Structure 1
């Protein structure tokens, strides 16, 4: 926590412990709303994986754990705002409130760091469904999680070692308090997060653009995966408010409200973006079921030509795939002579 020098403290107004000025509910609204959307997106993803496809893989359960950490971090932020003085000016807080707020800050960072790490790892693992064997895309998707995990672990260790003893992090009045300047650490982690988020977003784009699909479909896929830019933007906004809190003001609780709001938004947006591809699969599943019920009620058979050279046959509600002359394969898209199973990667097969 940035401590104000005596000459700055002397300019502060008289403390108001009874009815202090408060920030509006923006933090609570943004944090809980993005958390709710993240939980809905994860629930729909699990519905597709468990209820429709009837199979899960490691990236699904990594995302579940990431969501648990993200939800806990969001609730910790809301609690810090509502109960521990994050919505008030620093001069209107008692020492006890400042200590409680620092404890909430430590807990939030403890939860936020693994939440964002696991989200990125889950997304990278999901790329393995798209990456051809022995491709650079696949090698990077396998290597990047280890780099992100090691870098994140380093920042996590620093969180526990920047103050000696650890309780000095929140015991602001402790006579023997010994803490390093946390500004370089906070900025290093924030910048690394932006870099990692941008890498995760950009990694699949060259492969998607080169696959053998109509340009409109390739652009649609790129747009689908580009929702990850929202996370990059949120991380960049967080750096802006971090700079204000640690370098431009001593009223860290009042100005920190916006910083904590973007911490919650960033963590939850990562979950949302990691689950968005499955929402497309859910729409396709519902559409297939609707088409199946229509054709089944008439008892006839309809043939639909597909852009990838396949033909969908529906008869009495049942679907099967038949290759047409000139088709490249079952459901794959070709890149450099190898098939990327784009369709089945994020689209459920009929149960």
Structure 2
């Protein structure tokens, strides 16, 4: 053991090292032997952590001995490209959602604002993680300066609160989108329940994260044992809250399914719904994964390093949630752009091509029924009317056939891209129409 090491080590740690060296085959002056002797290091560590040294003295001893033996602190900076990739994807989908509204002069509705607010929170979450790298986030705590440790723990506190708040915004945005799609009474009741679940379940998680410790500052000041206060049992709190959140997520995901399966949608939109649903399942799976491995992170003594995996999974979960919430807006923008590239003009789209097809008549009566030989033969009078995008009023006009009683109707199903109401057709023996994506 070198003379500089003897003079810089805390007294309590020095006594432990001397005892460990005397119980080994190494001499006090043989630094190489002491550094390579795992049993010696283990004995000294147990002695130092037995309570003879304060937390600050333990970290100082670890720092000094590691530097003397040429041991580099463990770092985990792989989270940076991962989090930047997912936040970039979330930003792109959020930008597409905003562009799909602004490009066609459409009004932003509450679900849009909630998703944009959630995206801003996700950006702040990721930016905080990346910026804190220079402070020691992702590095062994013994290599972090004492002044930076409470700062990083305070940042971790803010990120925990921001996480539960952001996930609530994402759920609210998705439910609001459901409410904009399903305008009939039975669906409205279910969506109101889903909204209540999203808010009521999230509020205890938010306030629980905020007041986990009393006083609040004890959360980031307790690391060295010098502050006074108390915290609730983290293990019980996390298990109870996260289990409730997972169950509520499954309910919110499943709430629209009984109505979605009865919608008259093209295979493209069915594919989009499937992708959205799968993305939602991935988000729930990530939450479950974190819950499964929570025991690995509770009670760790190296928080500046050990907290990184959980923070990364939280960031990915939030980003995927924003992507899921913004997915429905993507086909709207691309469809509108395609129509504009084709040079489609509103005047040519809305000019009546058959009697009764003008703005004064929304429905055209077709005699006969769908299964007869003559059924729908008068559809030829539509003169090739095709689904088209009307950029001036922000709607996609689709011509769909609805079987109702003994008569068949051709309905222009206006798919609003804003918050305007649309009457729903509830045929007696067939599926019903829905407002589509915005």
* TM interval, short-chain normalised: 0.7 to 0.9
TM-score when normalising by structure 2: 0.64
Q: After the TM superposition, which of the residue ranges 235-244 and 277-286 deviates more from structure 2?
A: 235-244
What is the CA–CA distance in structure 2 between the aligned matches of 1:323 and 1:37, rounded to whole Å?
34
Q: 2:97 aligns with which of 37, 40, 45?
A: 45
Shift, 1:108, TM fit:
0.6
What is the CA–CA distance in structure 2 between the aligned matches of 1:321 and 1:77, rounded to whole Å?
45
8 A contact 1:241–1:258 mirrored in 2:
no
1:131 maps to 182
1:169 maps to 219
What is the CA–CA distance in structure 2 between the aligned matches of 1:218 and 1:66, rounded to whole Å?
25
What is the CA–CA distance in structure 1 between the aligned matches of 2:253 and 2:145, rounded to whole Å?
44
Where does 1:313-332 land on structure 2 (aligned, <5 Å)? 326-331=408-413
Does residue 312 of the first structure (1) align with residue 386 of the second (2)?
A: yes
CA separation of 1:221 and 1:22: change in aligned 2, threshold 3 A: same
Where does 1:95-114 land on structure 2 (aligned, <5 Å)? 95-114=146-165
Does residue 212 of the first structure (1) align with residue 264 of the second (2)?
A: yes
8 A contact 1:129–1:341 mirrored in 2:
no
Does residue 118 of the first structure (1) align with residue 118 of the second (2)?
A: no
Structure 1 or 2: more helix by fraction: 1
Q: After the TM superposition, which of the residue ranges 186-195 and 45-54 deviates more from structure 2?
A: 186-195
Q: 1:66 aligns with which of 118, 140, 149?
A: 118
What is the CA–CA distance in structure 1 between the aligned matches of 2:100 and 2:232, rounded to whole Å?
47
Q: 1:285 aligns with which of 311, 333, 336?
A: 336
What is the CA–CA distance in structure 2 between the aligned matches of 1:322 and 1:266, rounded to whole Å?
36
What is the CA–CA distance in structure 2 between the aligned matches of 1:145 and 1:152, rounded to whole Å?
11
For structure 2, the residue ranges without an aligned partner over 5 or more in a row are: 1-44, 51-57, 348-352, 354-378, 402-407, 415-423
What is the CA–CA distance in structure 1 between the aligned matches of 2:268 and 2:425, rounded to whole Å?
14
TM-score when normalising by structure 1: 0.79
Shift, 1:272, TM fit:
0.9
8 A contact 2:167–2:318 mirrored in 1:
yes
CA separation of 1:10 and 1:123: change in aligned 2, threshold 3 A: same
Highest relative contact order (Cα 8 Å, sep 6+), 1 or 2?
Answer: 1
CA separation of 1:21 and 1:288: change in aligned 2, threshold 3 A: same
2:63 maps to 15
2:286 maps to 234
2:80 maps to 28
CA separation of 1:8 and 1:49: change in aligned 2, threshold 3 A: farther
RMSD over equivalenced CA pairs, Å: 3.6
1:151 maps to 201
Does residue 87 of the first structure (1) align with residue 87 of the second (2)?
A: no
DSSP-derived class of the 1:212 partner: coil
What is the CA–CA distance in structure 2 between the aligned matches of 1:66 and 1:8, rounded to whole Å?
48
CA separation of 1:179 and 1:36: change in aligned 2, threshold 3 A: same
Shift, 1:260, TM fit:
0.8
For structure 1, the residue ranges without an aligned partner over 5 or more in a row are: 1-5, 297-301
Aligned length: 325
DSSP-derived class of the 1:192 partner: helix
Shift, 1:235, TM fit:
1.9
Choose 1 or 2 for highest CA Rg. 2
